[in-house]
Amino acid sequence: MLKIKSGVHLTGLRPEMTPVLVNAATVFGNCGVDAVITAGVDGSHSRGSLHYVGLALDFRLKHIATLEQKATVLNAMLASLGALYDVVWEDAGGINEHLHVEYQPKQGANK
């Protein structure tokens, strides 16, 4: 199931992020946990962050019990989304641990 943390704003999320939402619900669900969006177009992010233009989402990882399961989620998201998306396990093991996913085609990537 896909859940949205209280206070997260998705208004302005771009259509390119639809596959992220669909795949996250499936991938997290396969690990027996909900996909929880912890940041959309809201929050404080680095200068030039794609969150501000609706092309990035963050997902909670702290509710996943093991490092192996977290790695499984990361790898499954990478495999399901392909080269047009970046999937990064940020602050691994830290207080702000999350999975950051953004639409960012690389030069020369097939669309």
DSSP 2-66: EEE-TT---TT--GGGHHHHHHHHHHHHHTTS-EEEEESS-S---TT-GGGGT-EEEEE-TTS--
Looking at the domain assignment, is residue 70 inside a domain?
Answer: yes
Q: What CA–CA distance (Å, rounded) separates 73 from 53?
A: 25
Q: What CA–CA distance (Å, rounded) separates 108 from 33?
A: 35
Higher pLDDT, 41 or 94: 94
Looking at the domain assignment, is residue 20 inside a domain?
Answer: yes
Number of structural domains in the chain: 1
Q: Is the pLDDT of residue 99 over 80?
A: yes
CATH of the domain at 6: 3.30.1380.10
pTM beyond 0.85: the answer is yes
Q: Report whether 9 contacts 45 (CB < 8 A).
A: no
- For residue 25, the model assigns a pLDDT of 95
pLDDT, tens digit, 9 for 90 and up, residues 7-33: 999 989 999 999 999 999 999 999 899
Q: What CA–CA distance (Å, rounded) separates 87 from 56?
A: 10
Q: What CA–CA distance (Å, rounded) separates 99 from 81?
A: 14
Looking at the domain assignment, is residue 41 inside a domain?
Answer: yes
Give the angle subtended at the CA of 93 by the CAs of 96 and 18, to the nearest 5°: 55
- Quickly state the pLDDT bin for 51 (edges 50, 70, 90): confident
Looking at the domain assignment, is residue 110 inside a domain?
Answer: no
- For residue 49, the model assigns a pLDDT of 82
pLDDT, tens digit, 9 for 90 and up, residues 52-98: 888 999 999 999 989 999 999 999 999 999 899 999 999 988 988 99
Q: Which domain holds residue 34?
A: 2-103
- For residue 111, the model assigns a pLDDT of 46
